[in-house]
Amino acid sequence: MSTHSLAALEARVHEFQLDNGWRFLILPRGLAPVTAFHTFVAVGAVHERPGITGMAHMFEHMAFKGSDRVGTRDWALEKVQLEAQEKAWLQLRATREGGQPEAAAAALADFERAGREAARLVDGEAFTRVLEQAGGASTLNASTSAEETRYMVSLPSERAELWCWMERERFTRPVLREFYVERSAVQEERRMRVDSSPPGALYERLLAEAFRVHPYGRPVVGFAPDLERFSRSEAEAFFREHYGAGRMVSAIVGAVDPERLRPMLERYFSDLSRGTPACDPPPEPEQTEERSLKLSFPAAPRLVLAWKVPAMAHPDNLAVELAVRVLGWGRSSRLDRRLVERDGTAAAVAVGQGLPGERWENLALVTALPSPGVECARLEAAIEEELELLAKDGPRAEELAGVKLVVRMELLRSMRSSAGLAALLCEYSSKVGRWQALFERVEALDALSAADVQRAVGRYFQRARRTRAELERRPKASALIPVESAN
């Protein structure tokens, strides 16, 4: 049943690539005259160098600040003030790092004065205002991961040309105004997502432990000292280095006519430079023994077990996904039945895969929340027992059939919204190189046997590939000390 519907959808995808490498995927569909626009840029936290962690995410924030003609009251004057502010920041940074408190105080005054002057020339939120007033108020957004940055908005379909104009403006002439104030907002984002959040804080430590060389070990939001230090000029350099058309793919899904849209896309995006291709980050040396960490935090205990598993494009990726689902997806999964339903030792169990990214070897993980009074070690032993059983006997036929169907159904469900479908098309096009892989994945499911899943468990879910992270309750505590930047 689902294959027929998927084939019908697949047949409606129009694809073309500009000479500069920018790929477009257009899929006409929808109940209402609206269109979802998604752009994936193959740049993320892994492309940062030590010392500027968080920069890819920071630039994502700056991509809403406008250009030399959107967001300014007087660009010529503003440009001068921005340069003065940047000079003052670099001076302030140098005096602070040089241990010159008096000079730092003077530099701080210069920096703040220049910031105030520049702020007077800003037409605040002008860029977002245009898209929001056009109908994008509830959908205009962006996100950054370890390996890509996504920009998305849904608009009434007749505003397609407005999207083209704004997207071109964003990527051809961005002005990183209000950089240092926004950097403060990003610091708050870090406090919210990591420093004040039990799962966020544990996850950051887990990644740092699991990936000691590969930049997957660094947080997307950035280390606190880097967020305090990096500059606008470094952000501009990051943009010039990484934001080329060759790294971009856009999906446009909704009430659009591909034949009419294509000339418009060519007109707006053909003259952008290709840019430099993304470099592969240094590989993580093979993990040969188990790693472990404990984090003391004022919160209820939790346990995370994570194993290194292959990248999205690897032939074993799908078998690993099925293994993870047999283990912990749904109420009849092995871990749920045992820990939550039978023993009552866990309040909840969750599984995940593809963290923090999927282009390179990444993590599959099990998170367990122990019931009151239950030691994490007890949960750990039970999880390992279930893994051993799965490695020894493989999944039962009905289990395997069930999780295969679940993968199909989840795919179908995520396609119900145009925005969801646009994101999937971009993701497969960007990460695997072919958007068709999204649909081929469903076919590949049929070919997988219980033995494939069993083999994947035995190969990847070994103790030596595992990192264990435990959060233990700290009743009264002072603020956490952030993990130091790796530079």
**Angle CA(80)–CA(84)–CA(90) in degrees, nearest 5?**
145
Question: Would you give the binding string for other proteins spanning residues 31-70, x where CB under 8 A is met?
Answer: xxxx-----------------------------x----xx
Q: How far is the CB of 184 from other proteins (least distance, A)?
A: 3
The answer to whether 384 contacts other proteins (rule: CB under 8 A) is no
Query: What are the angstrom distances between the C-alpha of 175 and each of 59, 92, 163?
Result: 11, 22, 18
Residue 100 makes CB contacts below 8 A (sequence gap 6+) with: none
The answer to whether 76 contacts other proteins (rule: CB under 8 A) is no
The answer to whether 267 contacts other proteins (rule: CB under 8 A) is yes
Handedness of CA 11, 13, 16, 21 (dihedral sign): negative
Whose tokens are 């003030």? That residue is 81
Residues 268-297 that bind other proteins (CB under 8 A): 268, 270, 297
Q: Give whichever of 201 and 365 is closer to other proteins, judged by the CB atom.
A: 201
Please give the structure tokens belonging to residue 320: 């690993």
DSSP secondary structure letter of residue 337: I
Burial of residue 331 (CB within 10 Å: 0-12, 13-18, 19+) is: exposed
Interacting stretch for other proteins, rule CB under 8 A, among 83-91, 176-184, 422-430, 442-450? Answer: 176-184
Q: Which of 91, 233, 417, 462 binds other proteins (CB under 8 A)?
A: 417
Q: How far is the CB of 424 from other proteins (least distance, A)?
A: 13
The answer to whether 264 contacts other proteins (rule: CB under 8 A) is yes
Q: Which of 187, 233, 436, 462 binds other proteins (CB under 8 A)?
A: 187
The answer to whether 263 contacts other proteins (rule: CB under 8 A) is yes
Q: How far apart are alpha carbons 220 and 52 in whole angstroms?
A: 11
Q: How far is the CB of 333 from other proteins (least distance, A)?
A: 7
Residues 341-370 that bind other proteins (CB under 8 A): 341, 344, 347-348, 369
Q: How far is the CB of 136 from other proteins (least distance, A)?
A: 7
Q: Give whichever of 62 and 104 is closer to other proteins, judged by the CB atom.
A: 62
Q: Give whichever of 254 and 281 is closer to other proteins, judged by the CB atom.
A: 254
Q: What share of the chain is helix, strand, coil (3-state, %, to 5)?
A: 50, 15, 30
The answer to whether 29 contacts other proteins (rule: CB under 8 A) is yes
Residues 201-260 that bind other proteins (CB under 8 A): 254-255
Handedness of CA 96, 98, 101, 104 (dihedral sign): negative
Residues 111-170 that bind other proteins (CB under 8 A): 119, 124-125, 128-130, 132-140, 154, 156-159, 161-162, 165-166, 168
Q: How far is the CB of 405 from other proteins (least distance, A)?
A: 4
Size of the site for other proteins (CB under 8 A): 101
Interacting stretch for other proteins, rule CB under 8 A, among 212-220, 240-248, 415-423, 435-443? Answer: 415-423
Question: Cβ of 217: how many Cβ atoms within 10 Å?
Answer: 21
The answer to whether 458 contacts other proteins (rule: CB under 8 A) is no
The answer to whether 7 contacts other proteins (rule: CB under 8 A) is no
Q: Which of 99, 101, 285, 372 binds other proteins (CB under 8 A)?
A: 372
Task: Compute the chain's Rg from CA coordinates.
Answer: 24
Q: Please check whether residue 134 is in contact with residue 166, taking contact to mean a CB–CB distance below 8 angstroms.
A: no
SS3 state at 28 = strand
Please give the structure tokens belonging to residue 428: 């497969």
| Of 198, 160, 408, 149, residue with least CA distance to 300 | 198
| Of 317, 320, 347, residue with least CA distance to 440 | 317
Q: Which of 173, 240, 294, 413 binds other proteins (CB under 8 A)?
A: 413
The answer to whether 339 contacts other proteins (rule: CB under 8 A) is no
| Of 193, 72, 191, residue with least CA distance to 143 | 193
- In terms of DSSP bridges, do strands 23-28 and 248-254 run parallel, antiparallel, or are they unpaired? parallel
